[in-house]
Chain A
Amino acid sequence: MTKNIKLMQGNEAIAEGAVIAGCDFFAGYPITPSSEVAEILSSKLPKIGRVFLQMEDEIAALGAVLGAALGGAKAITASSGPGISLKQEHIGYASMCEIPCVIINVMRGGPSTGLPTLPAQGDVMQAKWGTHGDHAIIAITPSSVNESLYETIRAFNLAVKYRTPVLILTDEIIGHMREKVVIPDKNDVEIIDVKLPGVPPEKYNPYNYTSGKVTPLAPMGEGYRYHVTGLIHGETGFPSQKTDVIQNAQNWLMDKIYKNIKDIEKFEEFQIEDADILLVAYGSTSRSSRQAIRMARSAGIKAGMFRPITIWPFPDEQVSKLSKKIKKILVPEMNMGQIIFEVQRNACGSSVYGLNVVSGEPITPDQIYEKIKEISKT
């Protein structure tokens, strides 16, 4: 069979990936630089009998997505900084009620309306901590157009499997650039579908905090009646103020993600075997890092890269292990320093340096190479 290869934009690849993953429902409100995701899905979804909805604002858009997901749909929304800020209340609701959904954040410069057409990586900590209260989240940082497609499929799978919101953080560069994509056949990729619970409605509890297994979310309208609330609730879904229920519920929200980290984590290592300097880079910045590493190596400096593809939960174990071998670590980011804190937390006795560019321009390979040279002399 010949491969189906296309030249495609990052945002287009997300839309394509969503359709392949079986996405039934999009609700959103357009915002640069994410609008193409909505634009393309507005054309694709209705043609195959699925729903595209433009809502009155970003808050309502995620509300509609959560409603659709409770009805059994695989649902997605796409936005950028200002819109993602508005969605935080509903992201917390999705976490608390364990409603699967995929949220695309094509990052632009902030805070506030910031830089609509220019890239940044300023929302990685927001992805983790944007909504109030303790909760776990899954966030993915693709670094190419091809990866945007495949990681969107994976995001839907993780959302359904762990009943959780999954964020995809790309940026204006990845979202708007065009490069080659190998479009998979539906049968060649793993797709996790929404399933009915294995028990009859009268025996169904929408939550289970102690078995270690994620209870399937019964689609509303299939005869399963249960309560959904943002208040802390017991396994029946009704609010509870019992201390043991509260503790169990809170533990569960963390445990279902962190105890399955091996299944959720994904990363790439590049030339780390003999590296004296380790770069920890993600998203578009990892592309510049890779080129800088080649420049450094041809100048005799042994540099390598660890690239988290799943950025949340953060790959603590890997970074900690690498930092025992490699004593100099550089974290280039298009923000004032965010993931560097995660690296520092895990780096045992290594020196951790940041390279932070927030000019609206991507970090160039030259800028990273200069920093590598500087570090190599310390």
Chain B
Amino acid sequence: MSDRTEFRFAGSGGQGLILAGIVLADAAAIYENKNAVQTQSYGPEARGGSSKSEVIISDSPIEYPKATMVDYMVALTQESFTKYIKDVKDNGIVIADKELVADFSNAKGKLYVIDMVKSAREELGKLLGLNIIALGVLVELSGIVSHESIEQALMKRVPKGFEDYNKKAIEIGFRLAKEIKNNK
């Protein structure tokens, strides 16, 4: 159980967090031959509401499929930050977006507030791809899978014509995470 690494993507329906989780699980399970389980939790509405997508990665078989001691969490809405932070480990890492989350009163773990929305707007021209930036941040911070594996898994699941756009998005994520590591 100790080799479980737990990831949580928190936000609202429609932000693409489930896809981010699937890509991470795919990279670990198929391209690095680890065990990976991806689950999600959401309300009855198709858009909006709090939702989370979780990925457990381990070298041993994964029994309980949901996260209970979160190592890495990224939050893309205030509501989901407040709601889902409780399971973060004391030494877990939490990434929140500077524009989307402002109330950190129940924060846990090591919190980093970074500019993912701003980077998306300035470098991609729109917010589409915010989920992939967040994925890039967690992959780079955790080192759980290689850049190559995550890019292969990502390319398999993005629509035709959007390969370069998504590659750019994940690289923004890698860079933002490197900045965090350099500033530690």
Contact = CB atoms under 8 A, between A and B. Distances in A.
A291 B64 contact: yes
A81 to B, nearest CB: 14
Contact of A178 (B38, B42, B43, B63): B38
Contacts of B37: 177-179
Contact of B30 (A7, A287, A291): A7
Interface in B16-61: 22, 25-26, 29-30, 35-44
Output the residue of B22, B30, B35, B39 with the most chain A CB within 10 A.
Answer: B39
Contacts of A6: 30
A117 B39 CA distance: 12
A284 B63 CA distance: 9
A177 B38 contact: yes
B168 to A, nearest CB: 24
Nearest to A113: B44
A209 to B, nearest CB: 45
B42 to A, nearest CB: 6
B78 to A, nearest CB: 22
A241 to B, nearest CB: 49
B152 interface: no
A117 B26 contact: no
Output the residue of A176, A177, A284, A290 with the most chain B CB within 10 A.
Answer: A177
A117 B38 CA distance: 16
A5 B68 CA distance: 27
Nearest to A366: B68
B64 A117 contact: no
Given A177-B39, A179-B37, A366-B68, A117 B44 contact: yes
B65 A180 contact: no
Contacts of A365: 63-64, 68
A364 B68 contact: yes
A287 B25 contact: no
Nearest to A286: B63
Output the residue of A116, A179, A291, A295 with the most chain B CB within 10 A.
Answer: A179
Given A116-B44, A177-B37, A178-B38, A7 B65 contact: no
B167 to A, nearest CB: 21
Contacts of A284: 65
B132 to A, nearest CB: 17
Interface in A159-205: 173, 176-180
A371 interface: no
B1 to A, nearest CB: 7
A94 to B, nearest CB: 31
Contacts of A288: 63-64
B62 A7 contact: no
A50 interface: no
A291 B37 CA distance: 15
Nearest to A284: B65
Nearest to B43: A117
A333 B43 CA distance: 23
B40 A7 contact: no
B66 interface: yes
Contacts of A294: 1, 63
Given A7-B29, A177-B65, A362-B66, 12 more contacts: A5-B30, A7-B22, A117-B41, A117-B43, A117-B44, A173-B65, A176-B40, A178-B39, A179-B25, A179-B37, A364-B64, A364-B68
12 contacts: A7-B29, A32-B44, A117-B41, A176-B39, A178-B39, A179-B25, A179-B35, A179-B62, A288-B63, A295-B1, A362-B64, A364-B66
Interface of A: 5-7, 32, 116-117, 173, 176-180, 284, 287-288, 290-291, 294-295, 362, 364-366
